[in-house]
């Protein structure tokens, strides 16, 4: 299957127009005419990931976070980014990113809410055509904050989380925003959530949220967003029945711990 054909499949899942204005998504490195037989799914296209893909003969990397955000004026090996771009291009490895378009259009937030078992869900922060960042809904039963934190650890296979708020606070309505969610604290409060499950919450943001009436479970940026790999693996394999292609979703070797 050609890279251009895979791009169409990926764009069908999360159309690029759903990405936020500051984002950079789509085919960022490579030729559409490249034949793809080995595809690697990751959250971040780190140097370790790029080296792994080149060494092991992968034809394409699909990541959640784009490794190229801003304009690149020089592509050489004097910078980590330039070296990564060169190594992929020289080896003929295509590189595609699906970031906030995946967050907003039927992907990250909805999958996280589904895994957590939330009911009567709606978009937390609408961005385009009824879609948006995060989800908010009701738990299947009332938890205290500590009990919910244990459920989050089990659901997303985490060793630790950080909680802001009284462990015994009763939780029924939950907002979940995989990745960095401090920007949606206001939305969670406005929609009367008892708890926001997210990542990258600073000390002052956390205590301010609690004083405003919102408890928080910080599951780390990567902690929830790693579901991207399994979700996309299951999505892609349905289009590749009878196609000669190997898909690998890689977590632990490149996990931020």
Predicted pLDDT at 238: 87
10, 83, 231 from 31: Cα distances, Å: 16, 18, 25
At 139, give phi and psi (nearest 5°).
-75, 160
1, 13, 34, 189 from 125: Cα distances, Å: 36, 20, 38, 12
The two three-digit tokens of residue 137, written as one number: 């809904």
CB atoms within 10 A of CB 79: 12
Per-residue pLDDT for the chain (257 aa), expressed as one digit of tens each?
A: 999 999 999 999 999 999 999 999 999 999 999 999 999 999 999 999 999 999 999 999 999 999 999 889 999 999 999 999 999 999 999 999 999 999 999 789 999 999 999 999 999 999 999 999 999 999 999 999 999 999 999 999 999 999 999 999 999 999 999 999 999 999 999 999 999 999 999 999 999 999 999 999 999 999 999 999 999 999 998 888 777 778 877 654 444 32
Q: Single out the residue of 42, 18, 10, 58 nearest to residue 239, CA to CA.
A: 10
Predicted pLDDT at 11: 97
Predicted pLDDT at 251: 54
Domains of the chain: 3-99 (3.40.1390.30), 106-224 (3.40.1390.30)
CB atoms within 10 A of CB 47: 14
């Amino acid at each position: 299957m050609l890279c251009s054909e895979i791009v169409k499949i990926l764009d069908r899942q999360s159309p690029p127009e759903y990405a936020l204005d500051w984002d950079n998504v789509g085919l960022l490195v490579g030729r559409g005419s490249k034949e793809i037989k080995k595809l690697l799914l990751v959250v971040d296209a780190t140097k370790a990931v790029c080296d792994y893909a080149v060494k092991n003969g992968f034809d394409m990397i699909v990541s959640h976070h784009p490794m190229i955000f801003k304009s690149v004026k020089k592509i050489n090996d004097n910078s980590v980014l330039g070296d990564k771009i060169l190594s992929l291009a020289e080896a003929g490895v295509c590189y595609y990113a699906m970031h906030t378009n995946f967050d907003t259009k039927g992907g990250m937030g909805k999958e996280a809410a589904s895994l957590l078992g939330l009911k009567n869900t709606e978009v937390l922060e609408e961005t385009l055509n009824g879609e948006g960042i995060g989800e908010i809904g009701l738990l299947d039963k009332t938890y205290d904050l500590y009990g919910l934190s244990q459920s989050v650890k089990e659901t997303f296979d985490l060793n630790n989380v950080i909680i802001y708020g009284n462990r015994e606070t009763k939780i029924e309505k939950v907002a979940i925003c995989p990745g960095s969610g401090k920007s949606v604290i206001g939305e969670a409060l406005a929609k009367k959530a008892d708890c926001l499950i997210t990542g990258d919450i600073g000390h002052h943001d956390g205590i301010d949220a609690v004083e405003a009436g919102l408890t928080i479970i910080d599951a780390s940026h990567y902690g929830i967003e790693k579901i991207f790999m399994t979700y996309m693996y299951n999505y892609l394999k349905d289009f590749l029945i009878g196609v000669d292609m190997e898909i690998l979703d890689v977590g632990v070797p490149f996990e931020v711990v």
